[in-house]
Structure 1
Amino acid sequence: MANAASNLSTLFGTQVCEELMAFVDDEQTLAAAREVVADRSLPQEAVQDGGITQALQRIDTGHSPKVVLADISHSLDPEGDITRLVRKMGPSNSLIVLGTSNDVSVYRRMVSLGASDYLVKPLTPELFDDALSGLDKQSESAGANQLGRLTVLVGVRGGVGASTLATNLAWIMANEENLSTALLDLDLHFGTSTLSLDVESGGGFREALENPHRLDKLFLDSAMTRAGDKLVILGTEEPIEEFVDVNPDSIDALIGEISQDYSQIVVDLPRHLLPTQGALLAAADTVILVSDQTLAGIRDVNRITQAMTSLSTKGRIVRVVSRVGGERAAQVSKADFQKAMEEPVDYFVPEDAKTLTVCANAGKSIPSVSEKGNLTKILRTMAADLSDYHPPKKKGLFGLVLGSKKASKG
């Protein structure tokens, strides 16, 4: 845990320590926590009285210290409080829960709710320091193993083609860039990712979202649909009359599990889920906001951008105007659209109704139907930008001849 970044900062209206904050409920625990904080050259204000209730008041979604110790001794709803705090902290930060019950079933329950560790009172400096050291080792291991780059696409208006973009960008990453790619379609009732590539939906995606504590590699593999050697899809077509109770923490847990095995993770996020997925947006390497050339599109891109700025999204925000040109006249010209945007548009994606019709009827990707079309070219550029893919350099005639001579000598 680096001490260089341990100074207090006003991340969300009140002073917090970016490395560590402890929220405890009694004098003995306060003293023990402050001893550890002092030994690690962190400010004494990193330890606060008030337990998990105070932690929930101080921490906003997307603005969390890297490690939080939260005392649940006086909580009236400990499981609910832990769930809310984990959701606010996001998948990249760690929660240590402090309680009074010395029962292994309680430990397991805390971990299933998203806590990284559970400690039993009385807290000693040695116990707290050992827990922090353990998290440091876990973080180093995770940094070495979790290489998945996370891209989230959001259609700011209905029918702007965000799902089409998500499906085809994932397909290009897997089939042309040869990168292991996972596509998550979070429109659980009307998603089109599996339909677009003519594969069957998996059977366990809903259960994975409703029961994140069941997530493991074997369970996840059974829920995935393979759409090629390098591409898997998590999608479902749930009955319209059934409400799907998605656990707020399940998507974070799902991303964490997938990122261990796939270098690219593309998430098609319906806009109605935006209010519940602050942690996902904050953790994304790239968030793509897709709009059409309308006044409503301008308004909503700017509104979502402002909301995401408050989340301190770690990655960049890419603005895409889709379905440009074609038969449908734009409400706003390109020039006026650019002027009205608070940030410039990154990509204008052309309309290609003929290709899209063939793709929809055949269940094929856009590049496989129109290999050299303008739409395919812009999609390849976008995919390489998102995945940081650099195509291998082609050898010229001189290089080929030289390489042939070297091979013959060998």
Structure 2
Amino acid sequence: MAKSSSLSTLFGNAVCEDFMAFIEDEKSLGVSREVCDALDFSSDATQVGGITAALNRIEPGHSPKVVLADITKSIDPESDITRLVRKMGHENTLIILGSSNDVGEFRKMIALGAKDYLVKPLTVEILKDAIENVDRQSQAIQAAQSGKLTVLVGVRGGVGATTIATNLAWIMANEEKLPTALLDMDLHFGTTTLSLDIETGGGFREALENPHRLDKLFLDSAIVKDGDRLAVLGTEEPIDELVDITEESIDALIGEISQDYNQVIVDLPRHLLPTQGALLASADTVILVSDQSLAGIRDINRITQAMTTLQTKGRILKVVSRVGSDRAAQVSKADFERGLNEAVDYVIPEDAKSLTICANAGKAIGEVAGKTAIAKVLRELSAAVSGYEKPQKKGLFTLVSGGKKKKEVGHKT
């Protein structure tokens, strides 16, 4: 939320641009004034009079970004809310303050066009959180509009989720030519920077712990570039220091970074799943990576079931990794899919030789082993996530109808 709330005038009515509250009772007025002072809003942002005063003050096309309207003395609250929503427009946010602590009342307010419903007695904590939540939602929407967010989770340790995340980001940036950001959320033992042979950034932890300070300059100080199009955020924090990663800090970070990068790849350690429901819910794609084991079946099913309660907007891709002659699977593919009650989406073959070369060189698979089977599957997965379509080469065989199409590699439906 912007820390200024300048007054603008239209038709003789001055309004604060960021926030205004129209409230009936003295206690709620005091709470609103305290919150406005804490958020550096204008002293004129809190007004006496409830939703009737809001209707008189706000004109179409000239509304504060957020309005808190008290309906406790309204004779016809439903009609008043409908009129106020129309005046404010869909790009602004209406929060209703009422006295009925009833789920049905909440749903009615939302159906009429309000974004939130608060119940008296109003407190500083409740109002401040409601206002800041509008900002968090705006950042999430902005991220969704300006780029694609992909979250990778290794449901078991050592299944190669970080390797997949790193190489997907490299492919998007270097082969698909898309501005891409890679976030390694394992702040103590992450290996994305090590895999690409780049230094860890000095400001990643600070950015997470101080989301209110995030801006382009701050973010640029935390980013390490690998080439022209790939930005990497990773760190190696002391193992005896706990870093608090909140939903708010991740929302703010992704909202800021998505303004400059078309693709955002997040490598999320599974131990952070309980605290990052909002991140999973806002992702365009969640990739669950597992080995072909009984424990993998259990954990994919558990995570998928948990995600159904988050109203996840995107798709879930199920990927089996580290499968092949170099590494025997614990269960057959048929039994694995039977345990999931559906087919896996992609199978990443084991390629110890290529991965060893990449690890020693500090390079992506596409750089040193671009023609291998594992590289082909990763390219296919990358295109499915980013929406990239490889330009068709014009030549003799593309002009002849009925030509043979290459067999797809890796994608299993």
With normalisation by structure 2, the TM-score equals: 0.70
Partner of 2:80: 35
1:218 shift after superposition: 0.8
Change (3 A) 1:398 1:193: closer
CA displacement, residues 59-90 of structure 1 (integer Å, 9 cap, x when unaligned): 9xxx99996245487345616x7548967x89
From the CA coordinates, give the structure whose radius of gyration is larger.
Answer: 2
CA contact (8 A) 2:247 2:279 kept: no
Distance 2:380 2:160 in 1: 17
1:328 shift after superposition: 2.9
1:367 shift after superposition: 1.2
CA contact (8 A) 1:322 1:349 kept: yes
Is 1:68 aligned to 2:67, yes or no? no
1:358 shift after superposition: 1.0
For the residue of structure 2 that corresponds to 1:28, the secondary structure is coil
1:174 shift after superposition: 0.3
1:164 shift after superposition: 0.4
For the residue of structure 1 that corresponds to 2:73, the secondary structure is helix
Amino acid at match of 2:98: D
CA contact (8 A) 2:85 2:114 kept: no
Change (3 A) 1:171 1:328: same
Partner of 1:405: none
1:331 shift after superposition: 1.2
Partner of 1:49: 98
1:178 shift after superposition: 0.5
Partner of 1:131: none
Change (3 A) 1:65 1:169: farther
Partner of 1:277: 276
Deviating 4+ runs (over 4 angstroms): 22-26, 29-34, 38-41, 63-67, 70-73, 81-87, 397-400
- Where structure 1 has 5 or more consecutive residues not aligned to the other structure, the ranges are 1-21, 95-113, 117-138, 401-410
Mean CA deviation greater in 66-75 or 148-157: 66-75
Partner of 1:326: 325
Partner of 1:361: 360
CA displacement, residues 293-349 of structure 1 (integer Å, 9 cap, x when unaligned): 111100110111111111111110000000011333211101110111033210011
Once the two structures are superposed, the pairs formed by residues 47-196 of structure 1 within 5 Å of their partners are 49-50=98-99, 68-69=115-116, 71=118, 74-76=121-123, 78=125, 82-83=128-129, 91=136, 93=137, 142=142, 146-196=145-195
CA displacement, residues 75-131 of structure 1 (integer Å, 9 cap, x when unaligned): 45616x7548967x894x35xxxxxxxxxxxxxxxxxxx9x9xxxxxxxxxxxxxxx
Distance 1:390 1:223 in 2: 31
Change (3 A) 1:233 1:303: same
Change (3 A) 1:74 1:293: same
CA displacement, residues 254-299 of structure 1 (integer Å, 9 cap, x when unaligned): 1111111111110001111111111111111100000001111001
Distance 1:318 1:293 in 2: 15
For the residue of structure 2 that corresponds to 1:313, the secondary structure is coil
Change (3 A) 1:65 1:350: farther
Once the two structures are superposed, the pairs formed by residues 149-298 of structure 1 within 5 Å of their partners are 149-298=148-297
Distance 2:390 2:306 in 1: 35
Identity of aligned residues (%): 60
Distance 1:332 1:58 in 2: 49
Instruction: Name the count of aligned residue pairs.
Output: 324
CA contact (8 A) 2:321 2:349 kept: yes
Distance 1:82 1:64 in 2: 23
Change (3 A) 1:386 1:30: farther
CA contact (8 A) 1:290 1:319 kept: yes
Amino acid at match of 2:295: A
Distance 1:357 1:232 in 2: 24
For the residue of structure 2 that corresponds to 1:266, the secondary structure is strand
Distance 1:189 1:333 in 2: 35
Higher relative contact order (CA closer than 8 Å, sequence separation 6+)? 1
CA contact (8 A) 2:348 2:374 kept: yes
Partner of 2:25: none
CA contact (8 A) 1:24 1:30 kept: no
For the residue of structure 2 that corresponds to 1:392, the secondary structure is coil
Change (3 A) 1:398 1:366: closer
CA displacement, residues 342-365 of structure 1 (integer Å, 9 cap, x when unaligned): 332100110001111111111010
Distance 1:213 1:327 in 2: 48
CA displacement, residues 220-264 of structure 1 (integer Å, 9 cap, x when unaligned): 011100011110001110010111122330101111111111111
CA contact (8 A) 1:90 1:279 kept: no
CA contact (8 A) 2:96 2:114 kept: no
Amino acid at match of 1:27: T
Distance 2:355 2:339 in 1: 29
Distance 1:358 1:391 in 2: 27
CA contact (8 A) 1:25 1:73 kept: no
Distance 1:282 1:34 in 2: 33
Compute the RMSD of aligned alpha carbons.
Answer: 3.6
